[in-house]
A and B are shown apart, each in its own frame.
Chain A
Amino acid sequence: MASRTVALGRGRTGRLPGRGWLALALGAALLLAAVWNVWSFPLDGVPPGRKATSLALIVLGLAGGISGLAALARRMTGLVPALLAALLTLLAVEGLLRAYGVPPGLIPTPTRVATALYTSRSVLLGDARVTFVQEALLGYLAGVGAGIVVALAAVRFPFLERGALPYAGLFASIPIVALAPVIVKAFGLEWPSKAIIVAITVFFPVVVNVVRGLQSASPLLLDLMQTYAVTPAASFRLVRVPSALPFLFNALKIGATLALIGAIVGEFFGTTGQGLGFRIQIEAGRFNLDIVWAAIVIASVLGIAFYGVISWLEMRFTSWHASRRQPG
């Protein structure tokens, strides 16, 4: 898809086709040279001359790469420019960290993180399974389910809506970290306590959004249903549920980002020895920052994938909604 847009853009603007790519490749090459220039030195043994060369190469490489990317990004959409930008950044970071001999106990270089990611993959994957599948996912599903049930009850009984809903907004502004230790103490160190934290953090956005969504149904449509003598249940299914879906998905997306954070923060307050949050805390204490960053990379990938799945579902189910119809 990206290449098609490039081709279109080229035809429209009549620019020289390869200049952006050329500058980008040149920049990347300069950055690679900067990394290679200081690659094999020990931490504090980089000669000043080499350090200066690498620094100059990094500045030049970044300037070239970014100008090339900027030219490309004007014509390109999608993830490609962002991925290229990340590649450039990683190269520059690697070069800078090596040139200045920053100890890996402070900030590990990207290659060290990648190595740690590979060598301790089995441990990290086990952690990811506990944190994501058991804590985040189960807690998420429980929180969403409970939220929808409560929202339905609140819409059905206006008494509840007026009495209980204001509290939902109030509770939503309680920081998870303040809640987490209490819940871990109350429900034990095993994974259910973390799932409960996740469920609570997901619950409130779902309730507030679903209630708002169910009530956003157009009165005109509801009247129309009444003139057709549709049963209340069918009218609910045909009008209220579809109009609530965009709101529900909004809450689901907010919840997806909160779920992993909730699980990881919960693990800071006690676990049984597995989980990404536990790993991050214990390895940071040992100054094993390679593994810490590797765990963060895994958590990020999981978080992005989770968010992506929810967005994809949103596109499937609410493709008719106005906010999806606009280009871009």
Chain B
Amino acid sequence: MLVVAAAALLLYWPLMLWANVGAAQRSLNSGAELGCATALACATQLRNPVLPAPAQLGRSLQAMSVPPLAPTSVPYNTLVTARETVVGLLIASVLGVLLAVALVGSRAFERLTLPWLIASQTVPVIALAPMLAVVLGQYGVQGWLPKALIAAYIAFFPVAVGVAAGLRSPDPMQEDLLTTYRASGWQTFWTLRLPASLPFLFTSLKVAATAALIGSIVAEISTISFSGLGKMLAENSRASDTLALWVIMLYGAGLGIALVAVLGLIERLVTPWRAGQSR
């Protein structure tokens, strides 16, 4: 794994030089003061590189995260987005599980709504976020809560569909066994269906976590917000600050990876009997 990472880094250098040389040559031709002589040397020092040089990236990474809790620093904004995402994910999992129980409990409910649940996964729900934000804002829901709600809205469908599949997953033999024990519907649910759905729950929660993160970032972009990764993305995208965008992307990626990793950890604690098989 480390060898491949090293190889990727080594390949990155010529790629970066190749991508930046054209832009560097153009700014040299335009007569700008760059403090470097040849296009190849300038390729690592562009203000807005196509691909940033590692040293450049490291410098702005440091510059943007040094007072970690200042309102303009990336770590602080990452935490804001993380809060929206986690709250959204919690709301989404409660809603999703309730919906899944209803889906499994009633055939009629399933036939009326399941096609729409499946369809909703193919719908670019992202496109709804700006409107949801406007509507919620109109009714006085402001600040970080609407972003969490939008994150929840985007994330609860994967949970519902996944858990519904999980609640149906127990072996028919086991269901028959519980029937011979004269277990009630609720007892079957608590002792058999719910535990059987847990692995599915965690798989879909991992999907939902990324979805929720996307939701909260998009919500921040498309609504009035004063902090968060999305707000920083929108600002720096408008200002064409490529280096800042790269730094924010790295933090966003880190947040996404951390969320999935935490869920994996919880999964291992909650379903220890599967620790060997699942990753």
Contacts and interface: CB of A to CB of B under 8 A. Distances in A.
Interface in A63-80: 69-71, 73-74, 76-77, 79
B4 A160 contact: yes
Contacts of B122: 256-257, 260, 300, 303-304, 306-307
Interface residues of A, number: 60
Contact of A186 (B50, B123, B214, B221): B50
A230 interface: no
Given A164-B4, A181-B245, A82 B116 contact: yes
Interface string A174-199: 11111101101110000000000000
Contacts of A170: 257
A73 B112 contact: yes
A160 B131 CA distance: 45
Contacts of A106: 134-135, 138
B124 A177 contact: no
B61 to A, nearest CB: 14
- Most chain B C-beta atoms within 10 Å of own C-beta, residue among A70, A164, A172, A177: A177
A271 to B, nearest CB: 12
- Most chain B C-beta atoms within 10 Å of own C-beta, residue among A160, A172, A293: A172
A52 interface: no
B124 A174 contact: no
B195 interface: no
A179 to B, nearest CB: 6
Given A181-B237, A304-B123, A176 B245 contact: no
Contacts of A107: 131, 135
A261 B112 contact: no
Given A173-B256, A175-B256, A177-B252, A303 B135 contact: no
B127 A277 contact: yes
A174 B112 contact: no
Interface in A183-217: 184-186
A187 to B, nearest CB: 8
Contacts of B3: 163
- Most chain B C-beta atoms within 10 Å of own C-beta, residue among A107, A179, A257: A257
Interface in B27-81: 48, 50-51
A173 B108 contact: no
A178 B210 contact: no
Given A264-B126, A277-B127, A82 B111 contact: yes
10 A-B pairs with least C-beta separation:
A178-B252, A163-B4, A303-B122, A82-B115, A73-B108, A174-B253, A73-B111, A300-B123, A70-B108, A307-B122
A130 interface: no
16 contacts: A73-B109, A81-B111, A85-B116, A86-B116, A163-B3, A167-B5, A170-B257, A173-B206, A175-B217, A260-B122, A265-B126, A284-B130, A284-B222, A299-B123, A306-B122, A307-B121
Contacts of B240: 185
A299 B130 contact: no
A181 B230 CA distance: 11
A243 to B, nearest CB: 19
Given A175-B252, A177-B230, A280-B130, A261 B124 contact: yes
Contact of B108 (A69, A177, A182, A276): A69
Interface of B: 1, 3-5, 19, 48, 50-51, 107-109, 111-116, 118-119, 121-128, 130-131, 134-135, 138, 206, 209-210, 213-214, 217-218, 221-222, 229-230, 233, 236-237, 240, 242, 245-246, 248-249, 251-253, 255-257, 259-260
A166 interface: yes
Nearest to B49: A186
A186 B51 contact: yes
A304 B118 CA distance: 9
B245 A185 contact: yes
B206 to A, nearest CB: 8
Contacts of A77: 111
A304 B116 CA distance: 10
A293 B255 CA distance: 31
A178 B249 contact: yes
Contact of A181 (B111, B125, B135, B233): B233
A185 B242 contact: yes
B16 to A, nearest CB: 11
A175 B116 contact: no
Interface string A92-110: 0000000000000011000
Contacts of A173: 206, 209-210, 253, 256-257, 259-260
A246 interface: no
B107 A296 contact: no
A270 interface: yes
A166 B8 CA distance: 14
B233 A178 contact: yes
Interface string A262-274: 0011001110000
Given A74-B108, A160-B4, A269-B237, A182 B249 contact: yes
Nearest to A76: B111
Contacts of B252: 174-175, 177-179
Nearest to A84: B112
A296 B128 contact: yes
A289 interface: yes
B248 A178 contact: yes
B113 A178 contact: no
A182 B52 CA distance: 11
Contact of B121 (A86, A257, A264, A293): A257
Given A163-B1, A179-B249, A185-B240, A70 B138 contact: no
A235 to B, nearest CB: 27
